[in-house]
Amino acid sequence: MSANDVTRSPAPAAEPDLRAAGLKAMRAALPGVFPEGDLDLRDGRLGEDLVEIGLTSVWGALWAREGLAPRDRSLVTLGLLIGLGAETELRTHVRIARTNGLTEDEIAEVVYHSAGYAGFPAAVAARTAAREALGDQ
């Protein structure tokens, strides 16, 4: 094999600023919650870097990706959080789903649908969390 036979891969694209992309995606999902400009999300307590990790790895690397519309990402996220029994996160993501265009009826359908796959107890817990998030207790 000669040097001319070697296929060179293109130079890697510049690494995106995942923190900036994460802040942009998070602000779009939760309008009015985070002020403009750079934010220090650390609180000086145990595990304070968890929010920063989520900002770059979840919001920057996942929510900021092309390929799925925010509305679709919300549908997927609601289903996953219901299946995981993650009611605290679900409360936040119900509000995000509304921002991303899901109606209350569509959120209810996600809860109903989850009963068949994640189980009835998970669906009941999700319904409670969604009601709390929407102020409908």
What's the chain's length in residues? 137
Q: For residue 61, give both structure tokens.
A: 């690397």
The residue behind tokens 């999902």 is 29
- State pLDDT tens for residues 121-136: 999 999 999 999 999 8
The residue ranking higher by pLDDT, 82 or 15, is 82
Q: Would the pTM count as exceeding 0.85?
A: no
